[in-house]
Each structure stands twice: as C-alpha cells, then as structure tokens.
Amino acid sequence: MGLVAQWDAMVARLSADWGEVGVRLRLTRPEDASRAAALLSALSPGVAGDALHLRVTSAGEAGPSTVRRLLGRLDAEGIRGTVELGSEQHIDRSSGAAAEVADSPPRGTASLAAAWDQLVASLLDDWTDLLCLVELRSSDDLAPAALALAPLNPSRHDGTLAFRFRVARHFGYGAAPGMARRCMERLDEQGIPGTLTLLEMLSDTQPVLTQGPTFVVSDRAV
C-alpha cells in the first residue's frame, strides 16, 4: 500500500476532534531518508535512522491535505515505507484548548514518565546529581528513542539496548529534572517501552570551578 493510501486510512481513523498528531514514517530503505526528508521539508521532519518524525495539525500549513500532497511526492519517486500514528491531541470544544492524549504504553508496560516520578520521590531530599539508565526492549526503537532523548545528551556503549544520561538538580553537567521527565513522556507518547534505572546518586555536591562531579562506570568517567 502506498504512503498516500496509508495516510488516508489513518486520517479516517482519527477522532472528530483531533487537533494535532505525531506521525512516524518508517522507510523500507534507510538510504531513502535524506531524499524523503527533502521532499517533506515543509513539515520540518526529524530524522532518526530509517524513520522520519512529523507533527501534523488538523488545519493550517501542516494540515492533512499538505501531508497527503507531500507523501504523494514520495510515492511518485518510489520511496516506500510505513506510516504510523504517534501521540494525538484533542480539541476541547468548550475552551478551544488542545489536550494531549498520548498513546497508551503497550499492555503490561509501565509508563516511563510514572517511573521517573517514582524514582524522584524515592530520592534523598538533598540529592544533586543522578546517573540514570533507560533500557529498551527492541533494537527497532533505538533510533526514535535516541531522538526523543536527545535533550538529555544520552550515551550508549557496548552495543546494549540502553541509553545512559545525567541529571543535575541545580547546576553543573546534566539535564534538568523537568527535561528528564519530558523526555520520558516523549518515549511514552511514541509507544516505546523500557525500564528506567537509577545507577548512582550524589547529594549536596558543591562544585568549585568545575562542571560538576564525575561518575565512574567500568573504570570510565561519565
């Protein structure tokens, strides 16, 4: 089935009050990514490996008809792939505001945002720096997860299906706690399951003329 036909079928399944959706385009041939991104440039797609990520609104320049027209260009050039639905926002008719309704995590999988909240609630009151790990369940999720976690400057080593990241509560090297939670939400919105683990915690650190403390994992500073 062509991309336009897949898009038409997806739009037909959306609720009547949808306002914005996240769309992931998985390409059959990864080498088509740069060309596909160029053809979809009007939508400012994010590219991660063989997948492109789009935000589509129910009206405006990034509306359904625009997306359909641009996907038609990909079909015309023989670029094949699968169109997948991500998060969806509904319009609150009483206020005119948009309320986001994220895809539910896969059955039997806890929300990573909820896992983050539980982790923070368990910390000592004077915590200042964290080293955390998000473990994925499928290698298919590595590229979109890397894109979702990009603000955390994640690192991946030894071919594992996991990303390590730092969090700084007040200052120094690491993402802010609020950004860490938002990135967990982004994984939930894309239906990417995983496990969040606290590797190390430091309390009441007082860096002097430095970026902050150093964690050591397997004899390596991180």
The answer to whether residue 104 scores a pLDDT higher than 80 is: no
Same domain, 116 and 212: yes
Q: What pLDDT shows up at residue 69? A: 93
The answer to the question of residue 156 being in a domain is yes
Instruction: Flag whether the pTM goes above 0.85.
Output: no
Question: Domain end: 46, 72, 101, which one?
Answer: 101
Q: What pLDDT shows up at residue 4? A: 93
The answer to the question of residue 149 being in a domain is yes
Q: Strands 98-101 and 162-168: what pairing?
A: unpaired
Same domain, 164 and 214: yes
How many structural domains compose the chain? 2
Q: Rounded to an integer, what distance in angstroms lies between the CA atom of residue 70 and that of residue 73?
A: 5
**33-56 pLDDT, tens digit each:** 889 988 988 887 777 667 788 888
Question: Domain end: 101, 126, 156, which one?
Answer: 101
Same domain, 82 and 175: no
The answer to whether residue 155 scores a pLDDT higher than 60 is: yes
Q: What is the pLDDT averaged over residues 11-39?
A: 85
HEC string of 137-169 equals CCHHHHHHHHHHCHHHCCECCCCCCEEEEEEEC
The answer to the question of residue 217 being in a domain is yes
The answer to the question of residue 106 being in a domain is no
Contact 3, 81 (CB under 8 A): yes
The answer to the question of residue 169 being in a domain is yes
The answer to whether residue 77 scores a pLDDT higher than 90 is: yes
Q: Rounded to an integer, what distance in angstroms lies between the CA atom of residue 167 and that of residue 153?
A: 10
Question: Domain end: 57, 73, 101, which one?
Answer: 101
Q: What pLDDT shows up at residue 167? A: 92
The model's confidence at residue 87, banded by pLDDT at 50, 70 and 90, is low
Contact 129, 167 (CB under 8 A): yes
Same domain, 148 and 181: yes
The model's confidence at residue 208, banded by pLDDT at 50, 70 and 90, is low
CATH number, domain at 62?
3.30.70
Q: In what order do the strands lie in the sheet with 81-91?
A: 46-48, 51-57, 18-27, 81-91, 98-101
Average predicted confidence (pLDDT) for the chain = 79
Task: Give residue 196's identity as a one-letter amino acid code.
Answer: L
Same domain, 59 and 118: no
Range(s) of the domain holding residue 54: 3-101
Rg (CA), the chain: 20
**56-74 pLDDT, tens digit each:** 888 777 788 999 999 999 9
The answer to the question of residue 162 being in a domain is yes
The answer to the question of residue 51 being in a domain is yes
Same domain, 146 and 118: yes
Between 22 and 187, the higher pLDDT residue: 187
Contacts (Cβ under 8 Å, ≥6 apart) of 131: 164, 165, 166, 198, 199, 200, 201, 215, 217, 222
The answer to the question of residue 107 being in a domain is no
> What does the DSSP 8-state code read for residue 36?
H
Position of tokens 């994220």? 102
How many alpha carbons fall within 13 Å on the CB side of residue 101?
12
Same domain, 174 and 155: yes
Same domain, 60 and 94: yes
